[in-house]
Amino acid sequence: MELHLSENAQKVLEARYLRRNRSGEIVETFEELFSRVASAVSEPELLYGSAVDARRHREEFLQMMTDLEFLPNSPTLMNAGSAMSQLSACFVLPINDTIEDIFDAVKQMAMVQRSGGGTGFSFSKLRPSGDFISSTGGKASGPVSFMDIFNCATANIKQGGKRRGANMGVLKADHPDILEFIRAKSQDGAFENFNLSVLVDDAFMEAVRQGGYYELRHPRDGRASGRLNAGEVFKAIYETAWETGDPGLIFADKINAQNPTPHLGRIVATNPCGEIPLLDYESCNLGSINLTRMLDSSSRHIDWQKLENTVRKGVRFLDNVIDVGRYPIAQIEKMTLGNRKIGLGVMGFADMLIQLDVAYDSDKAADLGREVMKVVSEEAFRVSSRLAEQRGVYPHWKGSVHQKNGQAVRNATQTAIAPTGSISIIAGTTPSIEPLFALAYQRAHVLGGRTLHEVNPLFQQAMRQSGLDPEQIGRRIRKTGSLDDVDEVPDHLKEIFKTALQIPVKRHLQIQQAFQQYVDNSVSKTINLPEDAKPKDVADAYWRAWKMGLKGITIYRYGSKSSQVLQLEEEGDRESTPASCEKCSI
């Protein structure tokens, strides 16, 4: 098996994934990394079958990683076959309203993040600022003040010794401190280790529609604690998101309508990028199929049989990860083994569309996305059902939606669309289901301060085939990242190579909806807005997302912070810290 990696892929693997000795010297090759992962993840096969079966699956796992057809989430690549062996990416931890519980959660977060995981929290159970504390006679400082403790702790923890941790902070719209939470990131640089989302229900959105008031609820006992105008709160949300990129919205009723285990509780938080809604103490491991490797030899048609075969191997791989992984604390192990959630998704969607000569900004792109994810979802469910026959249903199956529907499955969830930032660089393709950010751009201040320069290879190829010089065209587009002002490029190619900031919000949401229709977890997707977008454009995006039945939405207006990872080539003066879902992606 021959491994072909881009220069940037090699840099990422060397910086983040290859093993080092105590002197910091790399002691592992790229091929040995994938072999290490395949060997570790195939070990559970010995529990369910023969040594011959285990060797066969090991070879299958190794082949699909080496061929860059499928890659698991970063903790699996980093830790499989090591003493750490924590292989999951996504966690949600509870925070209850006592000092002991709050600092227990900080400790648990540290244990998760040092092993490579990202953490999500609902701060909705914490009493509001100014509330009386009977045990001390003092007054509570509120959830936002405690968020700062989590933020500072994360700043001093590197995931797996390789990267800074990431968090999702969630607050219910009816919490008395909701306005303070909404504006928590208004000061540049505040809470830079957090994505923030407001948890809203349909009743809140209807109150926004009708221009009415809604009740705030005290988190300790649910009693009424004042009223706010829903429209004014919604305005604070979208104006602050326009300014800073946060908060996003999580639609509580939609998420919980598709909660497979409602008998275990209501979902109130997600992982840092929003694609995995989780109950308290749950974790989930992810893997993504490289769609550019799912085309036939002519690269003009999708090879559906190959896609289905890769799904079969991917689901088995991820189910094995649950068994071979070690968990930071006992509560996480119990919930993870109880529900056995996995999240199989895709990357390279934009590159696949280009190879198929389909514009991202088109109905055909949405139709293709829906068709691809339908195949992935249906085959993943079939595989999980077969694994349930061989290995048993997930332990919390009794009382679940699956039991009520007569569906015996191994995994409570099977699919998710993750951001795939680092692994898409390794795979040499575009991240997740995102459009091209730009045709030429840079990832600034990553991998210990380095900057990675990227030019889309399919763009270079298309320029050559049109008799144009890709180097010369590339120099001309460094400032804008797009072909808009390059007259000699045919209009057809300008459509095919449209970039994120050229694509209308409704098209971004249409793609998200197409995939969400066949995803049982959720979809991490950034709704990109140009720098000159207005706050009402954010309001329109949020409103459309709810009406379209999405589970959540994240927007980012380009340049709204001095800190962003993805930059056009001539804007290197911007500092780089997280600005959207992209902040968790490398």
Q: For 518-529, what is each residue's pLDDT tens digit?
A: 999 999 999 999
Catalytic residue list contains 275? yes
Tokens found for residue 231: 């429209």
Residues 6+ apart with CB under 8 A from 280: 92, 93, 94, 265, 335
- Distance, C-alpha 31 to centroid of its chain: 27
pLDDT at 147: 97
Which portions of the chain are predicted below pLDDT 50? 571-586
Q: Which of 79, 195, 271, 411 is catalytic?
A: 271
- Which secondary structure element, helix H or strand E, spans residue 421, and what is its range? helix 421-427
Catalytic residue among 90, 193, 273, 582: 273
Please write the tens of the pLDDT for every residue from 312-355: 999 999 999 999 999 999 999 999 999 999 999 999 999 999 99
Contact 26, 20 (CB under 8 A): yes
Cβ neighbors of 407 (< 8 A, separation 6 or more) are 385
Say what the pLDDT of residue 158 is: 66
Rounded-to-integer distance, Cα 582 and Cα 566, Å: 8
Question: Which residues neighbour 33 within 8 Å (Cβ) at sequence distance 6 or greater?
Answer: 13, 17, 18, 19, 77
Residues 276, 228: Cα–Cα separation, whole Å: 30
Angle, to 10 degrees, between the axis of helix 7-16 and the axis of helix 30-42? 60
For residues 41 and 318, what is the distance between their CA atoms, to the nearest angstrom?
8
Amino acid at 250: I
What is the model's pLDDT at position 574?
42
- Annotated catalytic residue 273: yes
The catalytic position among 45, 69, 275, 569 is 275
Whether residue 284 lies in the annotated active site:
no
Cα 290-295-301 angle, rounded to 5 deg: 140
Write down the pLDDT at residue 564.
Answer: 58
Q: To 10 degrees, the CA torsion angle through 107, 71, 365, 545?
A: -10
User: Helix 304-324 to helix 363-391 angle, to the nearest 10 degrees?
Assistant: 50
Bond before 328 cis per omega within 30 degrees: no
Which pair of tokens denotes residue 250? 């999580």
How is residue 196 written in tokens? Answer: 């923030």
